[in-house]
């Protein structure tokens, strides 16, 4: 089982998580990612719909991109390493997944790479959610959809750490934790796709935590949220975010200067139409994890060397 989240929200309805265009909740749930195709009519309709989606444009996208640039001062390092062809982008994930939203939007708006974030099928049962995220590029993350995207030569965005990394406690900042997830390796190999590892530094510090995810689930506050119908009784434990403390203790993220760094692409063309052995899968994934971990260290060092460029107000609001 693999998961990828793409910005959790803190609001809940009785039956579904509520989400908005500014905090899109995406979670990928890929089970046995390299299993044979079993496309249903409904899933095929979804594939047909998402393949027609073009890069979003308009004043709203322009304003949002400008706001993200102003707030987080994002720096993209290693752009010259990006392949000209389509790729599967994978990275470390941050608390509440705001890294994914920022990266996805600015890669599209500033660098014309329209990545398709993969989403948990259960989220598409919420019509509001589906109608909101599909025009922005989000797709149901089931294997047949991913295969269709790869066959169409689309860029894809995946966070193998998923909710494991997106709701992690503060002491696990900037740690790559993918558990036993290898499905994305098998599927990329099947299609001979290129994997582009990248790292992010900054997003793990957008928020401190009043309560961690595990602490919140055992708290009186969680009980009250359930009693008042603000927390679905059947919500998955791994989708429950911590209680965040942002700028000056508010829900707003701290204006941390953010860095995204690309590693060298990993081509799996030699495995096309094949399934790598478990040892080969482990070797490929370990190489990707190691590259991301090293890039995180280099970005942390780059941030320290660049810290003097941040203004006093930004520094004060980022504490």
Summarised one tens digit per residue, pLDDT across range 209-221 is 998 888 888 898 8
Whether pLDDT at 21 is above 90: no
d(CA 119, CA 26): 5
d(CA 82, CA 29): 27
Q: Which two tokens stand for residue 78?
A: 């290693």
Residues listed for the chain = 319
Least confident of 47-56, 114-123, 180-189, 292-301: 114-123
Residue holding tokens 């590029």?
137
**Average pLDDT, stretch 228-234?**
76
User: Is the predicted pLDDT of residue 1 greater than 70, yes or no?
Assistant: no
- Is 27 domain-assigned? no
| 119 beta partners | 140
Burial of 228 (0-12, 13-18, 19+ CB in 10 A): exposed
State the Cα–Cα distance between residues 263 and 87, nearest whole angstrom: 13
The pTM score is 0.86
> Is the backbone of residue 308 left (phi > 0), alpha (psi -120 to 50) or beta?
alpha
Nearest residue to 184 (alpha-carbon basis) of 134, 122, 118, 103: 118
Provide mean pLDDT across the span 235-264: 91
Cβ distance 56 to 135 under 8 Å? yes
Residue 15 pLDDT > 60: no
The mean per-residue pLDDT over the stretch 302-312 comes to 95
Tell me, what's the pLDDT at 34?
A: 52
**Is 170 within 8 Å of 10 (Cβ atoms)?**
no
For residues 169 and 204, the model is more confident at 204
Residue 35's pLDDT is 55
Q: Note whether residue 23 is domain-resident.
A: no
| Residue 192 pLDDT exceeds 70 | yes
> Which pLDDT value is given to residue 38?
58
Cα-only R_g, the chain: 19
Residues 72 and 258: beta-carbon distance below 8 Å: yes
Print the domain residue range for 158: 41-317
N-term to C-term CA, the chain: 36
141 lies in some domain: yes
Q: Is residue 12 part of a domain?
A: no
Question: Does residue 266 sit within a domain?
Answer: yes
The pLDDT tens digits of the residues spanning 94-116 come to 977 789 999 999 999 999 999 99
CA 206 to chain centre: 15
When pLDDT is averaged across residues 125-133 and rounded to a whole number, the result is: 84
C-alpha 280/C-alpha 249 separation (Å) is: 46
| Among candidate residues 44, 272, 288, the one with its CA nearest the CA of residue 158 | 288
**156 or 118: whose pLDDT is higher?**
156
Estimate to the nearest angstrom the gap between the alpha carbon of 41 and the chain centroid. 28
Whole-number mean pLDDT of the chain? 86
Tell me the pLDDT band of 18, cut-offs 50, 70 and 90. Answer: very low
CATH number at residue 195: 3.40.1130
3 state SS of 49: helix
The verdict on residue 223 lying in a domain is: yes
> 295: which 2 tokens?
């890039």
More reliable by pLDDT, 249 or 23: 249
Domain total in the chain: 1
Q: Tokens 């107000």 appear where?
A: 313
Question: Residues 30-84: pLDDT tens digits?
Answer: 444 555 555 688 899 999 999 999 988 899 999 999 999 999 999 999 999 999 9
Please report the pLDDT score of residue 16 as a whole number.
38
Rounded mean pLDDT, 187-196: 97
Is residue 31 a part of any domain in this protein? no
- With respect to residue 32, please indicate whether it lies within any of the assigned structural domains: no
For 134, the token pair is 């599909």
State the Cα–Cα distance between residues 41 and 267, nearest whole angstrom: 33
């Amino acid at each position: 089982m693999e998961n990828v989240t793409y910005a959790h929200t803190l609001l809940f309805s009785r039956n579904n998580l509520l989400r908005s265009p500014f905090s899109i909740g995406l979670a990928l749930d890929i089970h046995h990612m390299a299993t044979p195709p079993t496309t249903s009519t409904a899933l095929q309709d979804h594939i047909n719909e998402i393949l027609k989606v073009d890069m979003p444009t308009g004043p709203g996208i322009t304003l949002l991109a400008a706001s993200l640039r102003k707030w987080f001062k994002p720096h993209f390092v290693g752009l010259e390493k990006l392949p000209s062809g389509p790729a599967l982008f994978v990275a470390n994930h941050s608390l509440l997944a705001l890294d994914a939203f920022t990266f996805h939007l600015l890669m599209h708006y500033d660098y014309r790479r329209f990545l398709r974030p993969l989403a948990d099928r259960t989220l598409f049962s919420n019509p509001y959610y589906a109608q909101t995220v599909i025009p922005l590029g989000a797709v149901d993350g089931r294997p047949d959809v991913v295969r269709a995207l790869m066959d169409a030569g689309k860029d894809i965005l995946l966070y193998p750490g998923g909710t494991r990394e997106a709701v992690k406690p503060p002491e696990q900042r900037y740690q790559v934790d993918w558990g036993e997830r290898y499905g994305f390796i098998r599927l990329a190999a099947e299609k001979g796709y290129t994997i582009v590892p990248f790292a992010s530094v900054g997003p793990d510090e957008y928020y401190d935590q009043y309560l961690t995810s595990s602490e919140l689930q055992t708290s009186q506050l969680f009980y009250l949220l359930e009693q008042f119908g603000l927390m679905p009784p059947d919500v998955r434990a791994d989708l429950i975010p911590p209680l965040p403390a942002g700028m000056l203790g508010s829900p707003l993220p701290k204006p941390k200067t953010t860095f995204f760094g690309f590693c060298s692409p990993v081509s799996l063309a030699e495995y096309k139409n094949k399934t790598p052995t478990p040892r080969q899968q482990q070797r490929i994934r370990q190489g990707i994890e190691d590259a991301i971990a090293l890039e995180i260290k280099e970005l942390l060092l780059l941030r320290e060397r660049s810290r003097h460029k941040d203004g006093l107000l930004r520094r004060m609001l980022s504490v």
